[in-house]
Amino acid sequence: MPPSPDDSGLAAVDIIVPVHPPSHHDIRAPLLSSSRSGGHPRNTMSAFFSSPPWCATPSFLTKVVMVVLCVSFTFVMPILTSLSTKLPASATSDHISFNLLVQFPESSLSLVSFLTLYSTMSSDRREGQPCHDSATVARSYPSELNRAFRHHLFIFIPSFIIEVVHKLIFISKADVSIPYIGKFLSPGLNGGIVMVLILSSWAYRTGIFLLVCMIFRVTCELQILRFLSLVNMLEGDELVKDARAVFEEHVRIRKELSSTSHRYRFFIIGCLVTVTVSLFGALMVVLGSKTKKTFLNSGDLLVCVVVELSGLFWCFMGAARITHRAQGMASVASRWHMSITSSTPPASCHSKNNSRGDIRNTTDGPVPEEDLDSDSSFRTRQALVAYLQHNNGGITLYGFALDRGLLHTIFAFEFSLVLWILSKVVVLS
DSSP 355-408: TTS-GGG--SSPPPHHHHHHHHHHHHHHHHHHHHHH----SEETTEE-SHHHHH
Helix (H, G, I), strand (E, B), or coil: what is residue 136? helix
Q: What is the pLDDT of residue 35?
A: 40
Q: Strand pairing partners for 175? A: 86
CB-based contacts of 249, cutoff 8 Å, min separation 6: 226, 229, 230, 233
The CA–CA distances, whole Å, from 331 to 34, 149, 223, 231, 336 equal 38, 33, 18, 10, 9
Q: What is the pLDDT of residue 346?
A: 58
Q: What is the pLDDT of residue 37?
A: 42
The pLDDT confidence band at residue 349, using thresholds 50, 70 and 90, is: very low
Rounded Cα–Cα distance for residues 198 and 190 (Å): 12
Q: What is the pLDDT of residue 345?
A: 63
Tell me what the pLDDT averaged over the chain comes to.
77
Rounded Cα–Cα distance for residues 382 and 374 (Å): 12
Q: Is the pLDDT of residue 366 over 80?
A: no
∠ Cα 228 229 232 (to 5°): 90
Q: Is the pLDDT of residue 201 over 90?
A: yes
Q: Is the pLDDT of residue 9 over 50?
A: no
- Mean local confidence (pLDDT), 363-389: 72
Listed as own residue / partner, the contacts of 223-226 with beta carbons closer than 8 Å and 24 or more positions apart are 223/253, 223/256, 223/257, 223/260, 223/322, 223/325, 223/394, 224/321, 224/322, 224/325, 225/133, 225/136, 225/137, 225/140, 225/141, 225/144, 226/133, 226/134, 226/137, 226/253
State CA 217 to chain mean position distance.
Answer: 3
Q: Is the pLDDT of residue 388 over 80?
A: yes
Write out pLDDT tens, residues 23-46.
Answer: 444 433 333 333 444 444 344 444
- Mean local confidence (pLDDT), 264-274: 93
Rounded Cα–Cα distance for residues 111 and 270 (Å): 10
State percent of the chain over pLDDT 90: 25
Q: What is the pLDDT of residue 333?
A: 87
The pLDDT confidence band at residue 174, using thresholds 50, 70 and 90, is: confident
Q: Strand pairing partners for 396? A: 401
The pLDDT confidence band at residue 159, using thresholds 50, 70 and 90, is: very high
Q: What is the pLDDT of residue 116?
A: 93
How many other C-beta atoms can be found within 10 angstroms of the C-beta atom of residue 124? 7
Q: Is the pLDDT of residue 324 over 70?
A: yes
Q: Strand pairing partners for 114? A: none
Q: What is the pLDDT of residue 10?
A: 40
Q: What is the pLDDT of residue 352?
A: 45
CB-based contacts of 383, cutoff 8 Å, min separation 6: 243
Helix (H, G, I), strand (E, B), or coil: what is residue 5? strand
- Mean local confidence (pLDDT), 308-321: 92
Q: Is the pLDDT of residue 17 over 50?
A: no
Determine the residue type at 283. L
Cα dihedral: 384, 386, 388, 389 (round 10):
170
Q: What is the pLDDT of residue 269?
A: 94
Helix or strand run (H / E) with residue 278: helix 243-288
- Range name among 121-135, 146-160, 408-422 with the lowest pLDDT average: 121-135
The CA–CA distances, whole Å, from 215 to 148, 208, 227, 304 equal 9, 10, 19, 20
Largest interatomic CA distance in the chain: 106
Q: What is the pLDDT of residue 180?
A: 82
Rounded Cα–Cα distance for residues 140 and 43 (Å): 12
State percent of the chain over pLDDT 70: 72
Q: Is the pLDDT of residue 249 over 80?
A: yes
Helix (H, G, I), strand (E, B), or coil: what is residue 12? strand
Helix (H, G, I), strand (E, B), or coil: what is residue 1? coil
- Mean local confidence (pLDDT), 120-133: 60
Q: Strand pairing partners for 5? A: 11
Write out pLDDT tens, residues 83-97.
Answer: 888 776 655 555 556
Q: Is the pLDDT of residue 14 over 70?
A: no
* DSSP state letters, 84-110: HEE--TT----HHHHHHHHHHHHHHHH
The pLDDT confidence band at residue 427, using thresholds 50, 70 and 90, is: low
Q: What is the pLDDT of residue 100?
A: 74
> Could you give the count of Cα atoms lying within 13 Å of 54 in the half-sphere of its Cβ?
22
Write out pLDDT tens, residues 391-400.
Answer: 887 888 888 8
Write down the domain spans for the chain: 53-328+392-428
Q: With CA atoms as reference, report the closest residue to 243 among 387, 390, 377, 389.
A: 377
- Range name among 42-46, 241-245, 261-265 with the lowest pLDDT average: 42-46
